[in-house]
Structure 1
Amino acid sequence: MKIAAAYIRVSTDGQLEYSPDSQLKVVRDYAQKNGMLLPESFIFQEEEGISGKQAEKRPAFMRMIGMAKQKPKPFDCILLWKFSRFARSRRDSIVYKTMLRKQLGIDVISVTEQLGDDELSLLLEAVIEAMDEYYSINLAEEVKRGMLEKVSRGEPVTPPAYGYRIQEKRYIPNSETAPVVRWMFEQRAQGISCKEIAQQLNEMGIPTARGLRWEARAVEYLLQNPVYIGKIRWNPHRSSGRTRNTATIHAHRGKP
């Protein structure tokens, strides 16, 4: 009897896809009908929302690959709901499928896109991979265009800055935190350092928006946020952690 593993992933890109439980049910049914054993310990499931673009950023995927390299091999195949669950990048698909199939003798099977071992099936799988990557790239561009359109109208595209809340696509002062923002600006205008402001906030028991203690860098970042002078800062491009092409657009808001 063949031993199978299962890889389950659900993204948050708005596509119509099965829930993790539904994907697993389809995979289990396939394993049962084909006489395969699917142990619970060989079910690898990502947390919801994990992107399929980069394998290195998928903990469950990398754990599965690490286990697949063990000798003797722990399972004979990896079952997927669709090939798109395995990867959204042709590079990752080629690298990991080649390693699994040719080096480790572990097949990768889509239970809803069943293909054979003939040349036509290889071509169809390559087409599926290309379409999956195109979908991912196109979706990212569509999302970016939609966000840029919102920003150009001064509408928020991120959670509101400290001191504000969002109502009807507008920044509205938050009655609880807006006075804190004013106080911070007043303190800084008097020459009080960001470190001292953070210390005072912590002593007064005032947390950050995330409920954490204030640090000097958090105070400095807040005071440099252009939203407090009526503009939105949005970064449509990021590279290696560095921001490029920062867009600053006038926002619809009230004074904090």
Structure 2
Amino acid sequence: MSTDRQQYSIANQMALIAAYAAEHRLTIVRTYIDEGISGLRINNQLGLIGLINDVQSGAADFGNVLVRDVSRWGRFQDTDESAYYEFICKLAGVKVLYCAEVFENDGSPMSGLWKNMKRLMAAEDSRNQSAKVFAGQSRIAGLGYWVGGRPGFALRRELIDATGKSRGFLEHGQQKALQTDRVLLRAGPPDEIAIVRWIFESFVGGKEETAIARELNARGIVNHRRVPWNLQMIGRILRNENYTGNTVYYRTSNYLRGRRVINAKAKWIRGVAALEQIVPRKVFDAAQRIIERRIRQRLSTDELLKKLRVLQHRLGALSHNAINRVKGGPSADLYERRFGSLRNAYALIGYVPDGDYSYLDTRGERANLIKQLAAEIAGRVSGVGPDLIAERAGGCMAVKDGSFISLRVVRCWKHSQKHCLAWTLRRSSKQRPGITVVVRLDEQNKQPLDYILTSRDSIPKRPLIMTEAVVRKRYRRRFESAAGLIHGIQMMLARGPRLSS
């Protein structure tokens, strides 16, 4: 099915199909719609996928499928794919009828000839449209206008009309409505520009991407995607030529929804000096030289593992710091990027580090727990902003009175001396005024055991090892459910700043 902006909208197609059904005394019992979805691939065509599944499973309570024309069945570049899906229906006793075609789909040689020709025409039409769209977008990009989706950090999209007059800035998810309008890329707020410059200066000065990301997270800097900073995000900023004042189009492509291809720099289409320069060209070029030098010096996987094995035999034990102390050797960050984690690299050389590092496998689950809890608090506590500011051991949310709600997750472990369960509570690197929620995990570190509600000042400067006895003594406000916690937060905020443990 097409979108409403195309010639045959959903409503038009449904009206034509309804008229065909009435003329042929057929009753429409079910409707499958792929609204606004390209017919090039079946992956995202949930309507067609649902139809095929119902037909194959025997759940179909109909004997005919009415389609406007052959192109609506799909514009697959391999015409055999279109025939295959129709053949599945045929095997199940379900006939596909094309309502607007001049031929009857009766299985005759002429019918087959018509269908194959129409399928080829539909595939060719997609190729022609793709070429026209690419030519138009290339011309627009070459003139310095922005062609693409969401820009990077510290960048904004400004909508202008045909005369060049600004219509305002587009927020995430917004698009232009008029074909004559254009979009310009603009530099963002001064504080974000300062962060981008600091990232480039730090990288050129010798800092690794991971170290930069960790420092930004520790400082509570929020990025444009509202997620914690990571190596990949810093890398994209360092390689983004937009910060030099140029727009760049056609860095990657996936022709006709095919495999994504990284295009050579010679094919890139640039809009030179299309926006304010954020990073000096010489600083940007210095960053590119560092990146290119690392690529040229890239060691193979076998060479990396060999160096790690030699280091383990020499030192006996491996760690992040031990690897980084080797002059001229691969960094621990490189091993993490290549193998996913240091533990994966250790496993490949047969090295088992001392200690239990299983908690690393559940970091994603703890992050999701924080996000879910933050969403519940924002939805039920008035005056709390919806944005979660990422922190290393949790996050925090801003309250309209200027205070914050800090969220922390603490893992459970067994105390070897006291022979009991314990939890380690550490202060955030950046203490914010307000209240703190501490989520204690159960013995398996899978589910919340309880929720502790306290003030910022009750979190000690030194790490606190909490046993059940310590928790009962220091923290009175404990809740077994998130609902109880949210009620407690509402009560504390209503009472004002006089908070105690």
TM-score range, shorter chain: 0.7 to 0.9
Matches within 5 A, 1:1-256: 9-11=1-3, 15-18=6-9, 20-39=10-29, 42-46=30-34, 48-71=35-58, 74-89=61-76, 90-101=79-90, 103-113=91-101, 115-116=103-104, 117=106, 118-159=108-149, 160-167=151-158, 168=160, 169-175=183-189, 177-231=192-246, 232-235=248-251, 237-238=253-254, 240-246=259-265, 247-248=267-268, 249-251=270-272, 252-256=274-278
Aligned partners of 2:210, 2:40: CA distance in 1, in Å? 39
Aligned partners of 2:89, 2:8: CA distance in 1, in Å? 25
Task: Check whether the contact 1:11–1:51 (CA below 8 A) recurs between aligned residues.
Answer: no
Cross-structure match for 1:5 = none
Taking structure 1 as the reference length, the TM-score comes to 0.79
Aligned partners of 1:87, 1:233: CA distance in 2, in Å? 29
Deviation at 1:158, TM superposition (A): 1.4
**Cα gap change, 1:128 to 1:225, in 2 (>3 Å):** same
* Amino acid across the alignment from 2:263: R
Deviation at 1:106, TM superposition (A): 1.6
Taking structure 2 as the reference length, the TM-score comes to 0.43
Deviations 1:162-181 (A, max 9, x none): 22224455432112532332
Deviations 1:73-94 (A, max 9, x none): 5421111233222110223222
Deviations 1:142-161 (A, max 9, x none): 11112222333333211333
Aligned partners of 1:189, 1:245: CA distance in 2, in Å? 24
The count of residues paired between Structure 1 and Structure 2 equals 242
The CA RMSD measured in Å over matched residues stands at: 2.8
Deviation at 1:250, TM superposition (A): 4.5
Deviation at 1:216, TM superposition (A): 1.6
* Amino acid across the alignment from 1:245: A
**Cα gap change, 1:71 to 1:234, in 2 (>3 Å):** closer
Residue identity (%): 21
- Structure with bigger gyration radius: 2
**Cα gap change, 1:233 to 1:128, in 2 (>3 Å):** closer
Matched residue SS, 1:109: strand
Aligned partners of 1:125, 1:23: CA distance in 2, in Å? 19
Aligned partners of 1:234, 1:240: CA distance in 2, in Å? 14
Deviation at 1:68, TM superposition (A): 0.9
Aligned partners of 1:241, 1:136: CA distance in 2, in Å? 18
Unaligned runs of 5+ in 1: 1-8
Task: Check whether the contact 1:225–1:233 (CA below 8 A) recurs between aligned residues.
Answer: no
Matched residue SS, 1:43: coil
Deviation at 1:95, TM superposition (A): 1.8
Aligned partners of 2:40, 2:46: CA distance in 1, in Å? 13
Aligned partners of 1:208, 1:52: CA distance in 2, in Å? 35
**Cα gap change, 1:240 to 1:122, in 2 (>3 Å):** closer
**Cα gap change, 1:204 to 1:21, in 2 (>3 Å):** farther
* Amino acid across the alignment from 2:153: Y
Matched residue SS, 1:38: coil
Aligned partners of 2:230, 2:82: CA distance in 1, in Å? 43
Unaligned runs of 5+ in 2: 161-182, 279-501
Flag the structure with more relative contact order, 1 or 2, with Cα contacts below 8 A and sequence separation at least 6: 1
